[in-house]
Amino acid sequence: YEQGNVVYIDKIEGSHPIRAYTEIGGRAPAYCVATGKALLAHQTEDEIERVLEGLERHSPNTIVAPEAMRLTLAQVRDNRYAINRGEWREQVSGVGAPVWNADDFPIAAIGISGPAARFTEEALVLFVPMVRESAEELSRLMGRT
């Protein structure tokens, strides 16, 4: 997380010929992607409010109403994962979960994304346990108990 954006630092490509593309070092608005929402939800209230003041539409699915985004971020905190339903790129959906350090602060997020045609609502729900468990395992490696 950096100034309202998520920065991609690593990725593993899928084997399907049609996939979602991200570039190492690339950025996306945190409020539009699953990994970003997983991190944004745990920022300070001041930072969240700063981001909510600048919500812009990037696809027909982007959440641009501040109150709706507040509710979304509250759900992320409660559920320990976030979902993107084509909010950054209309044809890309995904699931993300925060990775915590020993000080109980989210320092990264892990996620899975792909074409919305394959990452349907039913498929996203199936990915949630795998993404959350992977994030929890990384958190343990980072010293979180």
Residues 120 and 113: their CA atoms lie apart, in Å, by 11
Residues 84 and 40: their CA atoms lie apart, in Å, by 13
The residue-averaged pLDDT of 69-94 equals: 96
Residue scoring higher pLDDT (15 or 125): 125
Residue 30: the pLDDT is 98
Helical packing angle, 45-52 and 66-79, nearest 10°: 140
- Mean of per-residue pLDDT scores for the chain: 92
Model confidence at 15, in pLDDT bands (50, 70, 90)?
A: low
Question: What is the Cα gyration radius of the chain?
Answer: 14
Among 13-22, 28-37, 80-89, the minimum mean pLDDT is found in: 13-22
Residue 9: the pLDDT is 74
Contact 90, 76 (CB under 8 A): no
The encoded tokens of residue 56 equal 């812009």
- Judge if pTM exceeds 0.85: yes
Q: 18-62 pLDDT, tens per residue?
A: 546 677 778 999 999 999 999 999 999 999 999 999 999 999 999
Cα separations (Å) of 11 from 2, 80, 101, 131, 133?
A: 18, 21, 20, 14, 17
> Who's near 71: CB < 8 A, 6+ residues apart?
none
Residue scoring higher pLDDT (26 or 86): 86
